[in-house]
Amino acid sequence: MGQDRLGVSAVRRLSTGRTVDDNGPVESEEDTLIGEFGLLLSVSSRLERIAGRALERRAGISHVMLEVLLRLEQGCVSMSHMAQEMILTSGGMTRLIDRMERAGLLTRHTSETDRRVQKASLTAKGRETLARARAVHTQTLQEFYAGPLDDAERAVLRTALERLDAKGRAELPSLG
């Protein structure tokens, strides 16, 4: 290929769709997009595994159980609403609530106004577990999420994630 008269490497697109220059393959827009998405999934999965491992070791609950406890504390008591928010099937939510109820973290009851609606409430043990788990989770997030980023980077990331979340919710509002 060689360089042009200004010293810039010549770039060409192969029949395979790959782009090359004097130094070898050049990442295409498609490869960049796929790579960025893969990185997003990889980082998310890794952070969730780190957070989940810390919660299980130091608070005795899973990450998804923490999400339920947080939602109950915030007043979300309908199991179907929690399932939608957490992108779980109703069966998956029922099994999770069953385990949490057996562990003494919550109680389940039928809505007074609609017998078809199942609700849940935190128990004293659930509130104690939530307090311990919140401290563990905060420490873990500080070390592995907030610590490596400055405030401006976190603000940009939050804005981008909120935009992606809104787009995803419009396409997939719930698993019903």
Between 7 and 95, the higher pLDDT residue: 95
Residue 104 lies in a domain: yes
At residue 119, does pLDDT exceed 60?
yes
- Average pLDDT in the 119-131 region? 94
Does the predicted model carry a pTM greater than 0.95? no
Between 176 and 81, the higher pLDDT residue: 81
Domain of 88, CATH number, reads 1.10.10.10
Residue 98 lies in a domain: yes
Residue 22 lies in a domain: no
Mean pLDDT computed over every residue of the chain: 85
At residue 6, does pLDDT exceed 50?
no
How many domains does the chain fold into? 1
Residue 123 lies in a domain: yes
Residue 80 lies in a domain: yes
Q: Give the range of the structural domain holding residue 140, as residue numbers without chain letter.
A: 60-155
At residue 65, does pLDDT exceed 90?
yes
For the chain, the DSSP string reads --B-TTSPBP-EE-TTS-EEETTEEE--HHHHHHHHHHHHHHHHHHHHHHHHHHHHHHHSS-HHHHHHHHHHHTT--BHHHHHHHHT--HHHHHHHHHHHHHTTSEEEEE-SS-TT-EEEEE-HHHHHHHHHHHHHHHHHHIIIIITTS-HHHHHHHHHHHHHHHHHHHHH-----
Residue 176 lies in a domain: no
pLDDT at 11: 53
pLDDT level of residue 1 (50, 70, 90 thresholds): very low
Residue 48 lies in a domain: no
Residue 145 lies in a domain: yes
